[in-house]
């Protein structure tokens, strides 16, 4: 068996949570491979809505095993809140959620450091989610991190050593904080975390594959936020691309099966950094209102713009996407004209290749397509698609050279339409 990977192709919030939930019945194991509580993955079904931050989005469908992989960074305080919310709704996860011993812990001081670094950057801040993601991955790479497996052995000494180091840095930044306050909920979270089974997830996932069980790897953030390929430095601190599933789960590249690349029918970004197709006019506002574009994790208003095919092609290339999934088509239902950026003019020169830097003047060049002006939210099959919508899909497939196999027409699990069910 192979691992199929589902990941975002834009700047995050493409709708990964919804689609993982929809695809879960086809898999035995669902596993998150990177990121942490900077993610907010929204699922809606049977009139309920859940936002998951660390827990994989496969937990609502039957008894599938959900794994938090070694590439994830985990904050016990946030984990506790997630677990308790699910438990009060009647979901007991202790048996179906497994956690890698090699996943790194976000300590209370990592969160404080994140805030201190952002404050020091002033106007050039990243716009981080302030969840401690950057400092935790920094400690991992500099070989100073504290891992989930450390909870089982000599934890206090490791925790104290890390906190001492962090406090020295916080003092250098003249950052004011109350450690006792944040530590309280963190240690309460640690007790909740201890109720779960810690595993060698690379062993578990490979054994599952060997035993003929199928695995879906769930990405967080999006390709344009990848530490290597995103709009650096305005990125997150992990590899959000397909290769991140190999290092974040311990699977070999030849074990990767399908790569599902998920994108919105338009584009959003939250936090700072370049965004060539961003709209500052009433069209941008209309996208924000119609798409309810406010962050699932921070509540921040998302920046909105037209779809960017230059960036999308680049994302498809670095991920080896085999199937595309288009989300939030319904948000464009009432537009007269739909625009798609097919090239950039960078410092006066036209290019359809994603450039090294988007810092200078980048002017998007658009193709215009007629809108479909039809409510698609209740549609059940592609036979009902309006002609203009089919034309939009055909245009995108020709540009992107990958089939769009799923179209999402609303936030609910049921508002999902599969295409090419027989051919592919």
The interface region with Mg ion, picked from 45-53, 133-141, 293-301, 392-400 by CB under 5 A, is 293-301
C-alpha span between 31 and 235 (Å, rounded): 22
Partner that binds at residue 408, options ligand IMO, Mg ion, ligand GDP, none, CB closer than 5 to 8 Å by kind? ligand GDP
Q: Is 13 part of the annotated catalytic residue set?
A: yes
Of 99, 100, 70, nearest to 82 by C-alpha is: 99
Per DSSP, the chain holds a count of helices (H) and strands (E) of: 11, 20
* 129: contact with ligand IMO by CB under 6 A: yes
Q: How far is the CB of 298 from ligand GDP (least distance, A)?
A: 10
* 17: contact with ligand GDP by CB under 6 A: yes
Burial of 96 (0-12, 13-18, 19+ CB in 10 A): middle
Among 66, 128, 201, 319, which residue interacts with ligand IMO (rule: CB under 6 A)?
Answer: 128
Q: Is 41 part of the annotated catalytic residue set?
A: yes
* 18: contact with ligand GDP by CB under 6 A: yes
* 272: contact with Mg ion by CB under 5 A: no
Residues between 329 and 348 with contacts to ligand GDP, criterion CB under 6 A: 330-331
The DSSP letter of residue 370 is E
> Which H or E element spans position 267?
strand 267-269
C-alpha span between 232 and 250 (Å, rounded): 26
Residue closer to ligand GDP, measured from CB, 256 or 409 = 409
Among 10, 24, 41, 204, which residue interacts with ligand GDP (rule: CB under 6 A)?
Answer: 41
* 298: contact with Mg ion by CB under 5 A: no
Residue closer to ligand GDP, measured from CB, 129 or 322 = 129
C-alpha span between 278 and 136 (Å, rounded): 31
* 13: contact with Mg ion by CB under 5 A: yes
Residue closer to ligand GDP, measured from CB, 12 or 132 = 12
Residues in contact with ligand GDP, total (CB under 6 A)?
Answer: 24
Say how many Å lie between the first and final Cα of the chain, rounded.
Answer: 18
C-alpha span between 319 and 322 (Å, rounded): 9
Partner that binds at residue 409, options Mg ion, ligand GDP, ligand IMO, none, CB closer than 5 to 8 Å by kind? ligand GDP
Six-digit token string for 36? 């942490």
The DSSP secondary structure of 10-52, one letter per residue, reads SSS-SSHHHHHHHHGGG-SEEEE-SB-TT--EEEEETTEEEEE
- Is-contact 406 419, C-beta < 8 A? yes
CA dihedral 412, 311, 350, 363 (to 10 degrees): 60
**The one catalytic residue among 4, 21, 28, 41:** 41
C-alpha span between 6 and 217 (Å, rounded): 6
Partner that binds at residue 38, options ligand GDP, Mg ion, ligand IMO, none, CB closer than 5 to 8 Å by kind? ligand IMO
As beta bridge partners, residue 268 has: 304
> Which H or E element spans position 368?
strand 362-370
Residue closer to ligand IMO, measured from CB, 237 or 329 = 237
C-alpha span between 93 and 97 (Å, rounded): 6
* 296: contact with ligand GDP by CB under 6 A: yes
For 64, other C-beta atoms within 10 Å of its C-beta total 17
Q: How far is the CB of 416 from ligand GDP (least distance, A)?
A: 8
Catalytic residues: 13, 41
What are the residues binding ligand GDP (CB under 6 A)?
8, 12-18, 39-42, 44, 291-292, 296, 327-328, 330-331, 408-411
Chain positions contacting Mg ion, by CB under 5 A: 13, 40, 296
Binding site for ligand IMO (CB under 6 A): 8, 11-13, 35, 38-41, 126-129, 131, 133-134, 220-222, 225, 236-237, 270-271, 296
């Amino acid at each position: 068996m192979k691992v199929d990977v589902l990941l975002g192709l834009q700047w995050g919030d493409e709708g990964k949570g919804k689609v993982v939930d929809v695809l879960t019945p086809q898999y035995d194991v669902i596993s998150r491979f990177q990121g942490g509580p900077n993610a907010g993955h929204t699922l809606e079904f049977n009139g309920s809505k859940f936002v998951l931050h660390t827990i994989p989005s496969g937990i609502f469908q039957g008894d599938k095993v959900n794994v938090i992989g070694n590439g994830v960074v985990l904050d016990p305080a946030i984990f506790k809140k997630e677990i308790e919310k699910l438990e009060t709704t009647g979901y007991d996860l202790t048996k179906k959620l497994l956690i890698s011993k090699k996943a790194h812990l976000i300590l209370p001081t990592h969160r404080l450091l994140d805030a201190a670094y952002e404050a020091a950057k002033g106007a050039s801040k990243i716009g981080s989610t302030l969840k401690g993601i950057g400092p935790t991955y920094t400690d991992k790479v500099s070989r100073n991190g504290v891992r989930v497996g450390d909870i089982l052995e000599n934890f206090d000494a490791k925790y104290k050593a890390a906190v001492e180091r962090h406090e020295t840095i916080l003092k250098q930044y003249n950052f004011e904080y109350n450690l006792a306050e944040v530590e309280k909920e963190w240690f309460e979270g640690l007790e909740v975390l201890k109720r779960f089974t810690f595993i060698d997830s690379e062993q578990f996932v490979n054994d599952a594959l060997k035993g003929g069980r199928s695995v879906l790897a769930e990405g967080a953030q999006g390709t344009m936020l990848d530490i290597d390929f995103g709009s650096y430095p305005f990125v997150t601190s992990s590899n959000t691309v397909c290769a991140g599933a190999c290092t974040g789960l311990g699977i070999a590249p030849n074990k990767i099966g399908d790569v599902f690349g998920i994108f919105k029918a338009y584009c959003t970004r939250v936090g700072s950094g370049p965004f060539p197709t961003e709209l500052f006019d009433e069209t941008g506002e209309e996208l924000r209102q119609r798409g309810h574009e406010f962050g699932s994790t921070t509540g921040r208003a998302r920046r909105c713009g037209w779809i960017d095919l230059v960036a999308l092609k680049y994302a498809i290339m670095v991920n080896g996407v085999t199937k595309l999934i288009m989300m939030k088509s319904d948000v464009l239902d009432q537009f007269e004209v739909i625009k798609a950026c097919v090239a950039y003019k960078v410092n006066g020169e036209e290019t359809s290749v994603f450039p090294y830097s988007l810092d200078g003047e980048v002017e998007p060049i658009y193709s215009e397509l007629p809108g479909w002006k039809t409510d698609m939210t209740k549609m059940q099959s592609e036979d009902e698609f309006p002609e203009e919508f089919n034309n939009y899909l055909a245009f995108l497939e020709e540009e992107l050279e990958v089939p769009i196999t799923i179209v999402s027409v609303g936030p609910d699990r049921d508002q999902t339409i599969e295409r090419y069910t027989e051919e592919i």
